[in-house]
Amino acid sequence: MPLLPSPKPWIVQKYGGTSLGKLLPEITSSIIPSYLAHSNVAVVCSALSGTEKSKGTTSLLIKAIECAMNMEREGELKETIDLIQDEHLGIIKRMRGSAGKGD
């Protein structure tokens, strides 16, 4: 994911299983849209656990914040964002692949 300068600040919103299960309509119709007028919003859904805690979504988001606060770590920030994105897109692809197969 390219890191482009933006006039709007970025906000990362992470939603886990409970909030998605109980509040999905409110999240998608009210909470996220309320931020879009003034911010770019990156939404991470149902934080994923890795085989190691340091590879789980929450740990990677914390790492991304730490990197973003130090421009000398811009390359590491990009790698971390790409890893989070790749993990989520991989799950979507696997879910699409198993759709309709009785899984």
- Rounded average pLDDT over 74-78: 96
**pTM score above 0.85:** no
**Mean pLDDT score of the chain, rounded to an integer?**
81
The pLDDT score that the predictor gives to residue 103 is 44
- 32 domain residue, yes or no: yes
Distance between CA atoms of 41 and 13, rounded to whole angstroms? 7
Please write the tens of the pLDDT for every residue from 37-55. 999 998 887 666 666 666 7
Number of domains in the chain: 2
Same domain, 38 and 14: yes
Same domain, 87 and 55: yes
Whole domain around residue 17: which residue ranges?
A: 9-46
Same domain, 23 and 57: no
Question: How confident is residue 35, by pLDDT bands cut at 50, 70 and 90?
Answer: very high
- 3 domain residue, yes or no: no
Buried b (16+ CB within 10 A) or exposed e, 68-99: beeeebeeebeebbebbeebbeeeeeeeeeee
